[in-house]
Amino acid sequence: MHRIALNAVLSLAVLCGASTALADETCQSPFLPKLFGQEDYVYVWTLGIEGVGDGSDKLVTLGTNPERPDYGKVVASHSVGGRNEAHHGGFTDDRRHLWVGGLDTNLIWIFDVATDPAKPRLVRTIDDFVAATGGTVGPHSFYALPGRMMITGLSNSDDFGGRTSLVEYSNEGEYLRTIPMPKGAEYGYDLRVNANLNRMLTSSFTGHTNYMRPLPELMGDPEAMKNFGNTMVLWDYHARKPLQSFEVPGAPLEIRWALQPQHDYAFTATALTSRLIGIFRKDDGTFETVDLGPIGDPAKLPLPVDMSLSADDRFLFVDTFMDGKVRVFDVSEPRAPKQVYERKIGAQVNMVSQSWDGDRLYFTSSLLANWDGTVGEDPQFLKAFSWDGRELAPLFEVDFRAEELGRPHIMRFGQLPVTSASAGAGTGR
Task: Give the closest residue to 78 by CA, choosing from 20, 121, 30.
Answer: 121
**10 Å Cβ neighbour count for 422?**
13
The residue-averaged pLDDT of 387-391 equals 98
pLDDT digits (tens, 9 = 90+) for 187-239: 999 999 999 999 999 999 999 999 999 999 999 999 999 999 999 999 999 99
pLDDT at 9: 37
28 has a pLDDT exceeding 80: yes
Alpha-carbon torsion, ordered 209, 212, 215, 221, to 10 deg:
-20
Confidence of residue 410 (pLDDT cuts 50, 70, 90): very high
Sign of CA dihedral 259, 265, 270, 276: negative
For residues 110 and 99, give the distance between their C-alpha atoms in angstroms, rounded to a whole number.
Answer: 5
Burial letters for 201-239: b for 16+ Cβ neighbours within 10 Å, e otherwise?
bbbbbbbbebbbbebeebeeeeebeeebbbbbbbbebee
pLDDT at 128: 98
Q: Would you say 279 and 265 are in contact if contact means Cβ atoms under 8 Å apart? A: yes
pLDDT at 210: 98
pLDDT at 427: 43
421 has a pLDDT exceeding 90: no
DSSP state string for 336-357: S-EEEEEEE-SSS---EEEBTT
408 has a pLDDT exceeding 60: yes
* Architecture of the domain defined by 2-302+413-424: 6 Propeller (2.120)
pLDDT at 418: 57
pLDDT at 419: 46
pLDDT digits (tens, 9 = 90+) for 30-85: 999 988 889 999 999 999 999 999 999 999 999 999 999 999 999 999 999 999 99
The residue-averaged pLDDT of 379-399 equals 98
Q: Would you say 152 and 179 are in contact if contact means Cβ atoms under 8 Å apart? A: no
CA neighbours closer than 13 Å in the CB half-sphere of residue 35: 25
Percent of the chain residues topping a pLDDT of 70: 92
Q: Would you say 162 and 155 are in contact if contact means Cβ atoms under 8 Å apart? A: yes
Q: Cα 80–83–89 angle (5° rounding)?
A: 65
423 has a pLDDT exceeding 70: no
- Give the DSSP letter of residue 27: S
List all residues 6 or more positions away from 270 whose beta carbon is below 8 Å from its beta carbon.
248, 249, 250, 251, 252, 253, 277, 304
316 has a pLDDT exceeding 50: yes
**10 Å Cβ neighbour count for 243?**
15
**10 Å Cβ neighbour count for 185?**
20
Task: Give the closest residue to 125 by CA, choosing from 158, 97, 154, 155.
Answer: 97
For residues 279 and 211, give the distance between their C-alpha atoms in angstroms, rounded to a whole number.
Answer: 26
Q: Would you say 106 and 82 are in contact if contact means Cβ atoms under 8 Å apart? A: no
Backbone phi, then psi, for 11, in 5-degree steps? -65, -45
pLDDT digits (tens, 9 = 90+) for 109-157: 999 999 999 999 999 999 999 999 999 999 999 999 999 999 999 999 9
For residues 14 and 8, give the distance between their C-alpha atoms in angstroms, rounded to a whole number.
Answer: 10
The region, left, alpha or beta by phi > 0 then psi within -120 to 50, assigned to residue 53 is left
| Distances, alpha carbon 227 to alpha carbons 101, 181, 204, 221, in Å | 23, 16, 11, 10
For residues 113 and 125, give the distance between their C-alpha atoms in angstroms, rounded to a whole number.
Answer: 15
| Distances, alpha carbon 421 to alpha carbons 37, 38, 146, 414, 418, in Å | 12, 15, 22, 18, 8
pLDDT at 379: 97
